[in-house]
Amino acid sequence: MKYGPAVLLAWLACISLSAVAAGNLSSAPLFAATLFDLDNKPVAFAAYQGRPLIVNFWARWCAPCRVEIPELVELQTRHKARGIEVIGLNLESNAPAVRDFAKAYDINYPVLLTRDAGIALLQALGNPKAGLPYTVAINRQGEIVASKLGAMNKAELEAASAAALK
C-alpha cells in the first residue's frame, strides 16, 4: 500500500511529538502562575482554563524560536475559530523589546512574559533542562496531551492541535 507525502508527514509529526499520558504531567503550575502582558500588567494564566491551548515557550535570542513563530502565527489564524488558542510565553523581562519583536514578526496571539518564573515553569511542564523552544498542548480539561522540545513544523502543530481539541 502506498502513502502520499502528506500522510507520511502527518505520521512522522505524530511520532515526533511526545504524547503525555493523562496525569503524568500537571498543568497546575502553569494555571497557578501570574505572568505579565506586553504592557507589564499582571495576567493570571488561570484565565485561559477550559480552552484548548498551544503554549509555546520562547525568547528573542532563540534562533529556532524565530523559525517557528510564522508557523504559530499561521496556526492561530487557521484554528482560532475552532477554539484553539496559541499563547507565547517569553522568558524575558523587557516588555518594550518583546513588544517590538512581536510587532516585527506579526505575532497575532497573546505573548506573556514569564520573567523569573520561566525556568521553573519549563521544568514543571516536562522540560527539565529548560531548552527552547518548548511547546505543550493542553486540552479543555487542563491536561497536557502533547509536548515537544524544539521547533515544531506545520504537521506537528496540526497534530498537537488535534490532540488539544479531543
For the segment 74-121, what is each residue's pLDDT rounded down to a tens digit? 999 999 999 999 999 999 999 999 999 999 999 999 999 999 999 999
Q: Is residue 57 within 8 Å of residue 89, measured between CB atoms?
A: yes
- Please give the Cα distance from 163 to 59 (Å, whole number): 25
Question: How confident is the model at residue 141, as a pLDDT?
Answer: 96
The boundaries of the domain holding residue 14 are 5-165
pTM, full prediction: 0.87
Question: Into how many domains does the chain fold?
Answer: 1
Note the pLDDT tens digit of each residue in 38-76: 999 999 999 999 999 999 999 999 999 999 999 999 999
- CATH code of residue 44: 3.40.30.10
Which residues contact residue 70 at a Cβ distance below 8 angstroms, ignoring those fewer than 6 apart?
105
Residue 11: its pLDDT value, please?
39
* Identity of the residue numbered 93: S
Name the DSSP class of 143. Answer: B
Q: Is the pLDDT of residue 7 over 80?
A: no
Rounded to whole angstroms, how far apart are CA atoms 96 and 37? 10
